Structure 1
């Protein structure tokens, strides 16, 4: 496949590209956002996509600074975590990482949707561009290693 790059500046464009990124995932999805409040993780369409992905053996890793928005606004996502807990890991970042303000989703180390700052929608989506995912993938590994498990009995613990 040939590399495709799409800059975006609106919430609708971000969500469209995020959906495309999730749809392309086969093995791994890694996601980082300070709180995931604009990701619509609780939307029925996102739930259907993620369930299809996980049912086919995909693995999902999320890291965030806090998860009140997800706990409050995404009951479908909380059910998904419960149903697929063996394939989903959720972590909460350490205090040292709270200054991180970017936001990204990486699928199979080949596709990425990233916002340069979580408070704004300006960003880019790159599909079939493994080299474009490297920096964010390395950042995610660091974030993941510096984070604590965030999945508890009745909440995400984010």
Structure 2
């Protein structure tokens, strides 16, 4: 296992695509608003559809869903098509100070940005020990969330 630092949008997107394409069982995502994630892009839609078609489970936690609702119509369609495998949650106000951003795939791969306003971060693949702290944080945050985005948003 080797950590892969990144500091550009292209590197971040490439590592996200790698992480998503390796996932088989679970994808856990945390970001204040998923603005940098391109979840509505055709490439990300294809990766997520392949993952969900194999019965993978996708869980997202955000402070706000406004950017997804406004900028990611493909993701909203994906949510409609796979609502039984996708769960979107919103943090409670007491957690809105959290500013990191990460995805964990199958408890072994992680891509994380140190601060959601910046693209600097690191990725690690085949590294369960590297995902452990973030995975524990995800569960703790998940337990303090409310229902978020649903398939019926925007008339879906």
Q: Quickly name the TM-score band, shorter chain normalised.
A: over 0.9
The C-alpha deviation readout for 1:75-114, integer Å capped at 9, x for no partner, is: 0000000100000000000001000000000000000000
Query: How far does residue 5 in structure 1 lie from its aligned partner after superposition?
Result: 1.9
Query: Which residue number in structure 1 is paired with residue 90 of structure 2?
Result: 92
Query: Which residue number in structure 2 is paired with residue 29 of structure 1?
Result: 27
Query: How far does residue 4 in structure 1 lie from its aligned partner after superposition?
Result: 3.2
The C-alpha deviation readout for 1:36-83, integer Å capped at 9, x for no partner, is: 011000000000000000000100000000011110110000000010
CA gap 1:84/1:153 in 2 versus in 1, 3 angstroms: closer
Query: Which residue number in structure 1 is paired with residue 39 of structure 2?
Result: 41
Equivalents in 1 of 2:6, 2:28: separation in Å?
Answer: 20
Q: Secondary structure at the match of 1:30?
A: strand
TM-score w.r.t. the length of structure 1 is: 0.95
Equivalents in 2 of 1:36, 1:55: separation in Å?
Answer: 22
The C-alpha deviation readout for 1:109-151, integer Å capped at 9, x for no partner, is: 0000000000001100100000000010001001100001113
Query: Which residue number in structure 1 is paired with residue 111 of structure 2?
Result: 113
Q: Does 1:61 align with 2:59?
A: yes
Q: Secondary structure at the match of 1:41?
A: coil
Q: Secondary structure at the match of 1:51?
A: helix
Q: Does 1:146 align with 2:136?
A: no
Query: Does structure 1 retain, via aligned residues, the 8 Å contact 2:83–2:151?
Result: no
CA gap 1:80/1:153 in 2 versus in 1, 3 angstroms: closer
Equivalents in 2 of 1:77, 1:4: separation in Å?
Answer: 31
Query: Which residue number in structure 2 is paired with residue 78 of structure 1?
Result: 76
Query: Which residue number in structure 2 is paired with residue 155 of structure 1?
Result: 153
TM-score w.r.t. the length of structure 2 is: 0.96
Instruction: Report how many residues are paired.
Output: 154
In structure 1, runs of 5+ residues without a counterpart are: none
In structure 2, runs of 5+ residues without a counterpart are: none
Equivalents in 2 of 1:147, 1:62: separation in Å?
Answer: 11
